[in-house]
A = this chain, B = another copy of it.
Amino acid sequence: MGFRAAVAGASGYAGGEILRILAGHPEIEIATVTAGSNAGALLGAHQPHLRSLAGRTLAETTPDTLSGHDVVFLALPHGQSGPLAAQLGDDTLVVDCGADHRLADAAAWERFYGGEHAGTWPYGLPELPGHREALRSARRIAVPGCYPTAVSLALVPAFAAGLAEPDVVVVAASGTSGAGRAAKPNLIGSEVMGSVSAYGVGGVHRHTPEMVQNLSAAAGGPVTVSFTPTLAPMSRGILATCTAKARPGVTAAALRDAYETAYADEPFADLLPEGQWPATAMTLGANTALLQVALDEAAGRVVVVAAIDNLTKGTGGGAVQSANLALGLPEELGLTTIGVSP
């Protein structure tokens, strides 16, 4: 085991997923697990599926408990990682699964999250143009949001290839784990089973500016994104239906070609064969984003559907993938493209 890791927020869903992956990682050792109000408890009380780690005790999340590790994964509510990370050594790799360091635009941060912006870190989506190289030397990494991961992988190739107009409409369905582990009345099983519901409608969801940021960078100019998230009756998974107005003259063949080219060598972005459409269950527990594209000629729109596991590629797996790069390890180490299905 080359590297010692601490995971903060280990009793939550994002923290649990990082631990699940690290437990099978050949080069990263889980040295410390920490929590907030659950500190002092055994990990097994909160993450009973992590059998081999069940006897670990949750330490408190403080700069002290987190110091002295090669890599620290922060899986904390937004607003908490900024001040905490500032107290960790510069030579420690800090991987923030929260939103604090994702946005380049401080004004957007303040509008969508409130409070002071903590600054911008290298963005942990190696599949985006130029990002992989930046991550190799990073000591700080901002893991993307789950929705922006799916949407960016879905639409960046179309924009990068000049096939889409900057008029984007995204509707995405997410499993309930995306809403975290806090017990809220609208998230109890009786409410969510057998039901799909909308929330954060009208451009108010916090992941919107992150999508705008990524797609605008790919388009080389401002892109508008109408984003509607919905909650689906499943624990994990995001299915993002992403459409953009097609540039004049775009053909279905050119569209497909752009994605084949973009993802030919990507280990974790996978264009399905023609005729096969993504389902979230195909990605359960896998670090893969599955994609399929279509050109709707009558409506003049590019339609790209992306499926990911919101906790794996959308959070914990993406975090480990970027950490691998920053630690000089093979990017795929400890990660799988194979889902648990059915």
Residues of A within 8 A of B (CB): 13, 16, 20, 23-24, 44-45, 47-52, 168-169, 171, 173, 175-177, 179, 181, 183-185, 187-199, 201-203, 208, 224-228, 230, 232-237, 239, 241, 243, 270, 272-273, 276-286, 288, 290, 292, 294-301, 303, 305, 307, 336-342
Contacts and interface: CB of A to CB of B under 8 A. Distances in A.
Contacts of A300: 224, 226
Contact of A189 (B189, B202, B227): B189
A10 to B, nearest CB: 14
A340 B284 contact: yes
B241 A198 contact: yes
Nearest to A171: B171
7 contacts: A16-B342, A51-B288, A187-B189, A196-B307, A203-B299, A226-B301, A232-B232
Nearest to A212: B298
B281 A232 contact: no
B337 A52 contact: yes
Contacts of A201: 241, 277, 292, 294, 303, 305
Contacts of A342: 13, 16, 177, 181, 190-191, 193, 235-236
Contacts of A273: 44
B183 A188 contact: yes
Contacts of A233: 189, 193, 232-234
A203 B301 CA distance: 9
A192 B49 CA distance: 14
Contacts of A196: 173, 232, 234, 237, 239, 279-280, 307
A243 B52 contact: no
